[in-house]
Amino acid sequence: MSCPCCSSHNHHHDECCADENCCHINPEEEEKEERKEKIRNIVLLIWGSVCLITAFILQKVDARYIDISWSLFSDVNFYSSLSFIAFLLYTVGYLPLFLTIGKEALEEIKEGNFFNENTLMLVATAGAYAINEHPESLFVVLFSIVGETLEDYATSKSKRSIKKLVNNMPLYAHYIDSDGKVIEKEPEELQIGDRIEIRPGEKVSVDGRILSGKSSMDLSSINGESLPKDVTEGDYIYSGSINLSSLLVMEVGKEFKDSTLSKIMELVENQEEKKAKAEKFITRFAKIYTPVVLIIAISVFLFGFGFSNWSWVNGGRDWLYKALSILLISCPCALVIAVPITFFAGIGSASKYGILIKGSIALENLSKTTTIMFDKTGTLTKGKFALINKPDKEAHHIAASLESKSTHPLAKVITESYKGDLYQVEDLENNPGYGIKGVINNETYLIGNKAFLEKNNVTEIKEEETPFKVLYLAKQNGPFIASFIVADEIKEEAIEAISSLKKEGYQKTVMLSGDDKRIAEDVALKIHLDEAQGQLLPDEKLEVVKQAANSSSMVAYVGDGINDSPSILAANAGIAMGGLGSDAAIEASDIVIMDDNLKKVAEAKHLAKKTMTTAKVVIFTSIALKLLFMILVVTGLLGKFAMIVSGLSDTGVMIICVLIALSMSFYKPKYLKKQ
């Protein structure tokens, strides 16, 4: 489809326009154009196929004219034969396809891309038509559409699966009017100073200050902070964070367009505009293959014509025939269908294992990456908390009993980690943001932060030297009992996944986190990463990824949160953990891991490399066999059978290459259990 600002004409806008100032087509308009193009291709495919099959049958039925050549047009009887009808059908079948490809080739030439797959097809098929190989010329262009349609189908299938993952949490505001009535409003309608309610489980729509209430906020999708943050009256909270426990009333501090969430999405949009769009593998190959083939064909003709003393009758015509035979042999039929089938099969195989790949460019880029960067929370870790130390059993029993009455995320960790009956707690007193007080067996116990215990006259608290969240247990006015260290759990497969990625050729593994630097370094050490950076804001993460991507290495970035979206876009290959990942990350990515299994990142890399190897084998096989037949034609070893063998060789090479390409359909995973 055509990009309105650059007039580039490619099958997909997202593969044509590398200009960072290029305007972007409305997604609905782009989808509409793609649908129209698919319908056009189907119509052309059906029309061309009907013409080809009918003409071929008519030509075989007509015993008088087995071959249709230009010399037959001087025979009056030819015009009343079935072979003439066959010729017309070949022509009317080929012509619309020729014009369609010609239009695409012309628009690419206008953009300076003189040698592309469309140019090669035009020259080769026009040459075949000129030397009376009408079925061959129609056959090649038909199969080019089949190849394109198959690859588009695989890409569209991945994109449809990705859309199913996107399930936006409603982003709206519960506006409190002057009468105290709560009304649902769009975030864009809110003004600075307005009051809104934020209910448990809701995503905050705009930035603002808490007027009343105490709660815990999940900030992981905004800054990567794994532990919830306790907030109370007077605290400032940010859009995109999620209220975990209690009702809050907030005063709007910024309009929606200036809020934290909007700024992150703006980073995504800006990065999307700046990201250069790579060319398809087959397009880049055609830039080399097309001129080489043309030069060989022209050189053969000129050399032979000169060798014949520039006599058309005494050799010139034969050498033109040989040159056109070379064009016919070099016809890219095997390439324009087998290479897309390779990607089609590779993308299809990936989807069987829950790896969704958005097209051949994404797959190729992933195969080339040598540095891989990760977000921490929700990517390398589970995004949920666990007790990482082992306190005394009786202390754990008391702590779990106290925390069983709280809805705080850390309280749930302590309660759920204790297996057994709980004590009955009397006179329970919950102090949000500080801790809990309660009576068990006539003794008053406290659990909470250090300041809470000190306020209740607990001395000699053994403070833990750890970056993780700590809750302390003690008796009121009495001794300190135990501490409980809570941290985000590392995924079980993380160590094995990082090891597998290094086997796949990654020279550097890096973690970029918004979490505390010490926490980031601790996780990196445990799973054997090469480097870790903590306390990074989304724009700082983005800058690190951009610098790495602009260096000599190709970069993959794996993330799951809204804050990861700009970095996912900036990477050469952006990977989203789709099971629990944010919609923004999934939309921004090139590859989606549907169930958050880290081992699938290594599997995706392995599959991408294998697909690219298969594509290169297809190209090498095609060129090697075609060169062999070219030599046979030029040396005259095939004699009068040159053209027949040329036609058969093209079909034969195509079948061989398609079989090689289809081998990717039988891909067996290296790092996953067979499914």
Cα 134 to Cα 329: distance, rounded to the nearest angstrom: 14
DSSP 442: T
Q: Say if CB 190 and CB 205 are below 8 A apart.
A: yes
* pTM of this structure: 0.71
Cα 593 to Cα 196: distance, rounded to the nearest angstrom: 36
Domain end, chosen from 216, 245, 266, is at 266
pLDDT at 557 over 90: yes
CATH number of the domain to which 582 belongs: 3.40.50.1000
Cα 537 to Cα 522: distance, rounded to the nearest angstrom: 19
- Please report the pLDDT score of residue 503 as a whole number: 94
pLDDT at 98 over 80: yes
What pLDDT digit, counting tens, does each position of 67-94 carry?
787 888 888 888 888 989 999 999 999 8
Is 429 strand, coil or helix? Answer: strand
C-alpha angle 278/283/286, rounded to 5°?
Answer: 145
Cα 460 to Cα 180: distance, rounded to the nearest angstrom: 48
Active site residues: 375
Share above pLDDT 90 across residues of the chain, in percent, rounded to a whole number? 28
Tally the C-alpha atoms within 13 A of residue 596's C-alpha that lie toward its C-beta.
Answer: 20
Tell me if 441 is assigned to some domain: yes
pLDDT at 175 over 90: yes
Tell me the mean pLDDT in the region 488-514: 93
Tell me the mean pLDDT in the region 396-407: 89
Q: Say if CB 235 and CB 477 are below 8 A apart.
A: no
pLDDT at 165 over 70: no
Residue 358's nearest CA partner among 151, 538, 498 is 151
Structurally, the chain folds into a number of domains equal to 3
Residue 520's nearest CA partner among 498, 558, 487 is 487
Tell me the mean pLDDT in the region 538-560: 89
Cα 204 to Cα 563: distance, rounded to the nearest angstrom: 15
Residue 330's nearest CA partner among 24, 8, 630, 1 is 630
What pLDDT digit, counting tens, does each position of 437-480 carry?
999 999 999 999 888 898 888 888 888 888 888 999 999 888 89
Domain end, chosen from 569, 589, 604, is at 604
Cα 526 to Cα 436: distance, rounded to the nearest angstrom: 33
Q: Which of 5-9, 337-341, 577-581 has the highest mean pLDDT?
A: 337-341
Residue 9's nearest CA partner among 143, 102, 128 is 102
**Segment holding 100, helix H or strand E:** helix 82-110
Q: What's the CA dihedral at 358, 362, 364, 369 to 10 degrees?
A: -140
Query: Same domain for 461 and 591?
Result: no
C-alpha angle 657/658/663, rounded to 5°?
Answer: 100
What pLDDT digit, counting tens, does each position of 321-380 carry?
778 777 767 766 677 778 888 888 898 889 888 898 888 888 999 999 999 999 998 889
Query: Same domain for 418 and 567?
Result: no
Cα 135 to Cα 53: distance, rounded to the nearest angstrom: 9
CATH number of the domain to which 228 belongs: 2.70.150.10
pLDDT at 675 over 80: no
Range of weakest confidence among 123-137, 192-206, 548-562:
123-137
Tell me if 332 is assigned to some domain: no
Is residue 170 very low, low, confident or very high in pLDDT (cuts 50, 70, 90)?
A: very low
Tell me the mean pLDDT in the region 505-523: 91
C-beta neighbour count of 171 within 10 angstroms? 16
- Please report the pLDDT score of residue 674 as a whole number: 53
Which neighbouring-strand residues pair with 558? 374, 575
Query: Same domain for 198 and 226?
Result: yes
Tell me if 9 is assigned to some domain: no
Tell me if 139 is assigned to some domain: no
Q: Say if CB 398 and CB 439 are below 8 A apart.
A: no
Query: Same domain for 249 and 183?
Result: yes
Tell me if 556 is assigned to some domain: yes
C-alpha angle 269/508/18, rounded to 5°?
Answer: 30
pLDDT at 278 over 70: no
Give the structural domain span for 517: 357-380+491-604
Give the β-pairing of 195-198 and 248-252. antiparallel
Query: Same domain for 459 and 496?
Result: no
Query: Same domain for 414 and 469?
Result: yes
Tell me if 192 is assigned to some domain: yes
Query: Same domain for 182 and 233?
Result: yes
Tell me if 249 is assigned to some domain: yes
Domain end, chosen from 266, 299, 328, is at 266
Query: Same domain for 471 and 518?
Result: no
Tell me if 140 is assigned to some domain: no
Range of weakest confidence among 126-130, 272-276, 484-488, 648-652:
272-276
CATH number of the domain to which 436 belongs: 3.40.1110.10
What pLDDT digit, counting tens, does each position of 210-263 carry?
999 988 888 776 666 666 788 889 999 888 888 888 899 999 999 988 887 777
Query: Same domain for 438 and 574?
Result: no
pLDDT at 639 over 60: yes
Query: Same domain for 432 and 581?
Result: no
Supply 472's token pair: 């302390």
Query: Same domain for 495 and 482?
Result: no
Query: Same domain for 554 and 474?
Result: no
Tell me the mean pLDDT in the region 540-567: 88
Q: Sort 120 into a burial class: Cβ within 10 Å, 0-12 / 13-18 / 19+.
A: buried
pLDDT at 21 over 50: no
- Please report the pLDDT score of residue 510 as a whole number: 96
Q: Say if CB 432 and CB 230 are below 8 A apart.
A: yes
Is 406 strand, coil or helix? Answer: coil
C-beta neighbour count of 624 within 10 angstroms? 10
